[in-house]
Structure 1
Amino acid sequence: MRLVFMGTPDFAVPSLRALLDSRHEVVGVVTQPDRPRGRGKRLQPPPVKEAALAVGLPVSQPAAMKEEGFLLGLKAWRPEVIVVVAFGRILPEVVLKMPEKGCINLHASLLPRYRGAAPIHRAVMNGETETGVTTMWMAPQLDAGDIILQERVPIGPDATTGEIHDRLALVGAELLVRTLDLVAAGRAPRHPQDEALATYAPPLSPEEEVIDWTQPAEKVYNLIRGLNPWPGAYTLRKGSRLKVYGAKILDTTNVGPPGRVEAILEAGFVVQTGRGRLLITAVQPEGKKVMPADAYLRGYPLIPGEVLGCG
């Protein structure tokens, strides 16, 4: 089948590469415009654009999905199907109706759970033990189209969002090729989603990055691994942000002043939560790289009794 691929971040790159290695023909790629990134705020291309240009694929980066020039170019590609993977924009009806065989989306959750922009983060932050990927027929409503295929992926108790992201990207790429083979053969199923089971994964807010030490140890731990490696959970120490990237639950029953440093150990430092204690093992001070907590302590000594989270 002739297809147009729409995607933007790293998560979508394995899917694009898998399609290029399949029997289907990728005739064009649509991705978000270049954005300023890094300390110098230089314009940087999205990862999907870099991957597409590396193999000589034509790339379109519309500022708006209803631009006349973009729509004419998309139509000129004559796609039989449009494939969407973490594109970051809602497709207007004119695009949804354009390909003969429809539009297919790969979503990083077991729909109808975790519809929306941050399904991987939310699953880890909520302490889920399982997630997965779903391919679906796209509909005007957000992530509400009929399901084609799903693949389940376990979330280990210590897994981070970054680890699950990379696993789902690979599993999703394989699932997408299987899905398109079914579409090409006219055998792709349509399983309506149960709206009663739908949950949502809205974008992360800056406020959610702040560690609330009054929460139980399990919840703080899930936040830390759920925001690892991006954007990172943080606490305040003497007015500066201290991001926390590694932690272990020591117990879930001990009660004391939340945020208080209880002890300094060889592997890091112990912090009291609302219920239970965490051993902090990896941190990132402002303006520095991520480092083991013991290395941090050598440059920024902590004293038992100090309370984190205070300005």
Structure 2
Amino acid sequence: MKCQKVNFVLTDKESIGIINLCTVLNIPIFIGNPRQGKAKGFIDQFDTDIIFSINYIYIVEQDIIKYPKSYAINFHGSLLPKYRGRSPHVWAIINNEKTTGISAHLITEECDAGCLIYQEIIPIPEDITGAEILTEFKKQYPIVISIVIDMIQKDTINPVKQDNSKATWFGKRTPADGIINWNWQKEQLRNWIRAQTKLYPGAFTFYNHQKITIYRIEYCDYGFNQFDENGIILDIRDGVIVKTPNGAIRILDYDSDIPIEFKKGGMFHG
């Protein structure tokens, strides 16, 4: 792959690492929302062949899509057409998927719907967390970008239309979305918790009106009565053990704003 010149970067104000790197490398940078033509005057200064969108938080509109001479390409963190939208790797873990990936696709005005150029499959191991798989994505993105650049240089791009009948879409997650429902089965609870563990705000519940953020659990074979309420604490002698509809779980890692004294028979509430 030949060395390429980066003419400019568009990013958001929270991406301090990108902003600092552009400053060091003397790369022109636009910071903020580019929509409704806000970035047009900036990008009009440059003669550009290709635009890449990589984990860009803003929807790219037509004035940017049509700007490059050759391609406007987005790199999305799922195997499209599955998991269009926001936080696809988190949703994939929540939904117990066994694989995810990176899709390079042409940018269209419809979010994540453009023709596919290249896809890289990334396995989702049984115990991996949302933060850990994000680290794997960071390793894979430069590789996938290099592959796509090489395809462009060799003129081997062959866009393939997405099958919209198989498309799924998931929305933006907020910290409030992390609340735990103790009526879920233990497998769903585990996926919910590991998908949102440290680095993210976390899955949470309440005990005596105090918020508890839970980062890691494991299944255990502690006995229970079917008719006990889900979320009841079964034992505290070997960790906090909690009943779910189809088995008990042990809380391995949690946090709270104040010290909590758990008691057998106490209840967690969503």
Q: Same fold (TM over 0.5)?
A: yes
Residue 252 of structure 1, CA deviation: 10
Structure 1 residue corresponding to 2:229, chosen from 239, 254, 257: 257
| Structure-to-structure mapping, 1:204-223, within 5 angstroms | 204-223=173-192
| Structure-to-structure mapping, 1:111-260, within 5 angstroms | 111-229=80-198, 230-251=200-221, 255=226, 256-260=228-232
- Kept in 2: contact 1:217–1:252 (CA 8 A): no
Deviations 1:178-232 (A, max 9, x none): 1012112221121111111111121124553111111111111111011112120
Residue 177 of structure 1, CA deviation: 1.3
Separation in structure 2 between the aligned mates of residue 183 and residue 59 of structure 1, nearest angstrom: 24
Deviations 1:11-48 (A, max 9, x none): xxxxxxxxxx961111211111x25xxxxxxxxx5332
Secondary structure (helix, strand or coil) at the match of 1:76 reads: coil
Who is 1:307 aligned against? 267
Percent identity of the aligned residues? 23
Separation in structure 1 between the aligned mates of residue 2 and residue 268 of structure 2, nearest angstrom: 52
The number of aligned residues is 267
CA RMSD of aligned residues (A): 2.1
Structure 2, gaps ≥5 residues long = none
Who is 1:279 aligned against? 250
Structure 1, gaps ≥5 residues long = 1-20, 36-44, 288-298
Moved over 3 A (4+): 251-256
Secondary structure (helix, strand or coil) at the match of 1:144 reads: coil
- Kept in 1: contact 2:37–2:63 (CA 8 A): no
- Kept in 1: contact 2:241–2:250 (CA 8 A): yes
Q: 2:110 corresponds to which letter in structure 1?
A: Q
Q: 1:166 corresponds to which letter in structure 2?
A: T
| Structure-to-structure mapping, 1:59-74, within 5 angstroms | 59-67=29-37, 70-74=39-43
TM-score by length of structure 2 reads 0.92
Q: 2:11 corresponds to which letter in structure 1?
A: T
Q: Tell me: CA distance 1:145–1:219, structure 2 relative to 1, closer, same or farther (3 Å).
A: same
Secondary structure (helix, strand or coil) at the match of 1:50 reads: helix
Residue 93 of structure 1, CA deviation: 0.8
Structure 2 residue corresponding to 1:269, chosen from 224, 240, 253: 240
